[in-house]
Structure 1
Amino acid sequence: MSKGEDIAEISELVARERLFRARHNPEIADCYYPDATVATSWQQGPLSTFIGSDSKEVDPRFTIVGNISPAVVHLNEKRAYVELPTCTHMRMMVNGTLAQIESYRRLIYRVEKRNGEWKISQMTSINENDDLRPVIAGQDLHIKSSDLEGLRPSYQFLAYVRKAAGGDISNDLLGTDRPEDIDKLYAQAETWLQQETKL
C-alpha cells in the first residue's frame, strides 16, 4: 500500500469514528484497538469508559450534531498521529430556556497498523473555544458574568452547563489557553511517531 493510500485510509478511519460517535453507532468500537485509551472533557481512561457513555449535560431528547474539518495525518511507517478539527452542536435546557452549545475542539488520534489494519490506539481532545446561546434569538439564559468566574476560556460554557447539570469537570483539561500543555502533547506524539523507525 502506498503512502497516499495509507493516508486516505487513516483519514477515513477518523471520519468514520466521529460519524459513529454522533449516531451512537456501536460499530465505533471497531475503529479502536481493544487496548486503546480515550481522553475527553468528561472522561479519561480505557475504551470502555468512552463507548456507549455520555457526559451529564447531554439531553437525550436532542440529537448531537458534529462537523469535522479535513484531517492532517503525520505518518511514519505503521504509525501516525492525526489532527482533526471538530465542532459539536448540542441542544439542552439552560435555566429553563432552550439553548445550544457549540464546542470547538481539536482531536489528536494515534493510529497504528497492526496485522495489516489501521485502527486507533489513543484519542485526546484539545478544547479550543465554545459558545452558548438561546435557540430562539432574544430569549435570556439568565447567566451572569459572575457565573463564569474561574472557568477556563477555552471551555467555559461547557464547564458551566456540565456543572449546572450536576456533573463535574476538571479545571486542568487540555485547552488553547494553556499552550505549553499542547506543546507537550505534540512533543510526545512526535516522539511516539519516530519510535516506529526503531522497532
Structure 2
Amino acid sequence: MNDIAEISELVARERLYRVRHNPAIADCYYPDATVATSWQSGSIDTFLNQEPAEVDPRFSIVGSVSTPVVHQNGERAYVELPTNTRMRMMVKGVQMEIESFRRLIYYVEKREQDWKISKMISINESDNLYPVVPGTHLDVDPKELEKFRPSYQFLAYVRLAAGGSISQELLGIDRPDDIKKLYQQAEQWLLEKNL
C-alpha cells in the first residue's frame, strides 16, 4: 500500500471507529496526540474517554465521510476530511436529529513503521435540526438562535439545552481568517521536517 492510500485508510478508519465507539480508535493516534472538537480540546485521553453533553446513549451516531485530500511531505502529512454526522437526541421532550457538517484536519506522521495521527482539528461548516417523528415539532424562537454562530448554531442550541456548554470561539467557516491561519499553520508544520 502506498503512503497516500495508507493515510486515507487511517483517517477513514478513525471515523468509523469513532461512530461505533470501537476502542481500537486509540491505535489510530500517537499517545501524545491532541484533539480539538466542539466539546473538548486537549490530549487524546479527553477525546476518547468523554462524550459531549447532548449525546444520548440510547441512540447511535451515524456518520459518513467524503474522499480525503492528503497533503504529504516525506513522513508528514495533513489531511482534509469532509464529514457529515447525524445524532438523535431528546430536546425539550421531543426526539430530534442534528445533522452536522464538518471538515476535519488531521496531522499524521510516520514516526517509525506506521502512519498515525498526532493532531486532529474540527472545523464547523453548517448544521441542521429536524424532528424524528413525523407530525412532531420543536418550538425554537429564532431570536434565541441569534446569539449562536451560523456554522454551528443548532449544535450550540442542543448542547446548552442538554445542560452542557460550548465556546463561541470554535473554528468555523463563518470566520474565514481563522481558517486561513489554520491552513498556513498546517503548511508550515508540513515543511518544518525538511528545514
TM-score (normalizing by structure 2): 0.98
Provide Cα deviations, 1:30-59, integer angstroms capped at 9, x if missing partner.
000000000000000011100132100001
Which digits, 9 at most, give the CA deviation of each residue in 1:112-171, with x for residues without a partner? 001121000000000000000101233211111122121000000000000000000000
1:88-167 aligned within 5 A:
88-167=85-164
State the aligned residue count. Answer: 195
CA distance in 1, matches of 2:156, 2:165: 8
Partner of residue 47, structure 1: 44
> Counterpart of 2:183?
186
Deviates more, 1:146-155 or 1:165-174: 146-155
Q: CA deviation at 1:197?
A: 1.5
- 8 Å CA contact retained: 1:95, 1:142: no
Task: Say which of 10, 14, 18 aligns to 2:15.
Answer: 18
Amino acid at match of 2:84: C
- In structure 2, list runs of 5 or more residues that go unmatched: none
| Alignment-derived partner of residue 85 in structure 1 | 82
- For 1:23 and 1:137, the matched residues in 2 are separated by 27
| RMSD, aligned CA | 0.9
Mapped contact 1:108–1:124 kept (Cα < 8 A) = yes
Gaps of 5+ in 1: none
Give the SS at the match of 2:25. Answer: helix
Q: Structure 1 CA distance, aligned partners of 2:96 and 2:35?
A: 28
Deviation at 1:100, TM superposition (A): 0.4
Give % identity.
Answer: 67
1:109–1:123 Cα contact (<8 Å) kept: yes
Asked if residue 177 in structure 1 is aligned to residue 174 in structure 2, the reply is yes
